Chain A
């Protein structure tokens, strides 16, 4: 059984490790691990966690290079690469001209030359001009070359909405990427996940699209650098962020925090909700989905991306496949709409809000067969 990392993370400092140690067996293990391997957790924002992960990747892998628009001197428009050029030099961290297709196409060549490129496209919507290189080249060079030219490329994409930004700065592209054979896709939901998932993604031999939930960049949380998952889950797996027995909310990226809020509210109504952070959108952890929904027998998938052909459809199918016999209701989807991501004024109308998620939950709860 996987355990919520948030239960430990809610606590402040080392004293809390002791207090939670009393409540569950798992946290006793965690407390031991913490003392043995990682002296302390650190409170930091997701920005800082990502920055730290990149810093360490550069230090550990001399072939890792970071580049993109404004990544160097400025340190990125969200400061994710802040200070890295000064520390690791202009050969390892550099600004490119303003051309996303160029950035990704160049990544292919660097990978062929034995580097591990960690390019950034400045915003989700800026990936569109690079789709040709991502889909036609990065995703299939390993296949085309019969495995002789792997593409260890970690493409960082500040993603999703929620910051009242201009057009093409609030898109959710996970279904687009996940649909492309040869790409892996991951999205962290909090600073701890951001640190560990980026460090993991940036050491893979295959292309990984790393979708950073930009609305969560400033959110602080505890990061335990020495302990990715106290419950010992697989690095490419999903994680239970809150346990519950009546219904599973499946989410990723920024929607995980919202689903945790919903679970808290639902508890007031006597409904115990399990929140599963999918983390990896490709490959999807089907075992974790099955395990959770076999227990709760009800599921709602939440994502910001538009409904039609969104990843929620894939998740619903995987749940149906593994849990058809025990499901009490069809899997619901609470998502963005089939509309272009709107301007800031209408953003809150578009992104699944607490009420819409509660409505989705209610539909599942009151579903009657026949």
Chain B
């Protein structure tokens, strides 16, 4: 599906260069390696839990790649590690949420242009609309990019967000990663009509349904959507069709609701392998490049793991200090009481 007018001009409109394709590959390898390593960290007791994104590397890296962090703002869920990495977010700060250090992560959301990690399904979709409308009010040209999944598309807030954005012509790109599963519930038991993108028509909003495992298609679609929204034409919905190859989380057992055969059939071609074959076919990269990319990914993971292991608990006083900008006497009294009776960290 493609109902987005072809009207994009500007720097981003050209085809991806070989150097950019190589960069995308390097990012995807870094994300894949960190993601699979994080599962191992959980098994080793380094972190209590993790929500893997295996199979969604192209959707995340490709869409994150289109973001201009000097003016855009991104609203993630809890499964956007690949977007964060692509945007250059401090990854120890990002992964700290999975170490149960701080719910929203320890990275600076304002500086990095990535809103705090969001555990509420569809929780931040309306925030993107508000942020985007702020751009309209101040005549700025930033675009809000908001992520959610096929499961989240069932939440009423998503309807409200799309309707608001379309009514207000807010510069929002709604990016749905349709990964086929909401924990144990497949998309056909979740999304009536079979397509989230099809719903855009009801809001008079253009939509693109794309192959979310093809990083080039994802970058191009997201750039077009950004161009449309940035030019004052209102919101765009992108539905990237992909597949959650792994479990919902490190304590999920997919064997209870899908077979290995179903997984293999549903997953399609591996996004990394696809880009690799394209690079080889184009003569844009050789085996040495792929080996270097993997080595760099391993070194990066090592560094992030070291950072995560070195990360101590936050001081307990932060529980009290960060509730308000202006604290209350009652809260100060509770903090004092806590310090006296049970301060451990």
Contacts and interface: CB of A to CB of B under 8 A. Distances in A.
A42 interface: no
B290 interface: no
A345 B314 contact: yes
Nearest to B154: A97
A167 B119 contact: yes
Nearest to B258: A73
Contact of B331 (A73, A74, A101, A338): A338
B121 interface: yes
B100 A98 contact: no
A348 B256 contact: no
Contacts, number: 124
B102 interface: yes
Contact of B319 (A69, A101, A308, A339): A339
Contacts of B323: 338-340
Contact of A346 (B152, B182, B184, B314): B314
Given A164-B48, A168-B119, A338-B334, A349 B100 contact: no
Contacts of A356: 341-342
Interface of B: 48-49, 78, 97, 99-104, 119-121, 151-152, 154-157, 182-185, 189-191, 256-257, 313-314, 316, 318-320, 323, 328, 330-331, 334-335, 338, 341-345
Nearest to B78: A166
B182 A337 contact: no
A343 B100 contact: yes
A344 interface: yes
A68 to B, nearest CB: 11
Interface residues of A, number: 42
Contacts of B330: 307-308, 338
A70 interface: yes
A185 B118 CA distance: 29
Contacts of A97: 151, 154, 182, 185, 189-191
A287 interface: no
A359 interface: yes
Prevailing SS type, chain A contact patch? loop
A345 B101 contact: yes
A165 B49 CA distance: 8
Contact of B256 (A74, A129, A347, A349): A74
Contacts of A307: 330, 334
B334 A337 contact: yes
A345 B120 contact: no
A98 B97 contact: no
10 nearest CB pairs, A to B = A344-B100, A74-B184, A97-B154, A167-B103, A98-B151, A345-B313, A167-B119, A349-B316, A99-B154, A166-B119
Which of B97, B157, B183, B335 has the most C-beta atoms of chain A within 10 angstroms of its own C-beta?
B183
A355 interface: yes
Given A97-B182, A167-B119, A337-B335, 17 more contacts: A70-B184, A72-B184, A73-B184, A102-B154, A125-B120, A129-B156, A164-B49, A308-B330, A338-B330, A342-B319, A343-B314, A344-B48, A345-B101, A349-B338, A349-B342, A355-B342, A359-B341
Contacts of B151: 97-98
A289 to B, nearest CB: 25
A69 B78 CA distance: 18
22 contacts: A70-B183, A70-B184, A70-B185, A74-B183, A95-B184, A95-B185, A97-B185, A98-B152, A98-B154, A129-B155, A164-B100, A166-B78, A167-B120, A337-B320, A338-B330, A338-B331, A344-B48, A345-B99, A345-B101, A345-B313, A349-B343, A350-B319
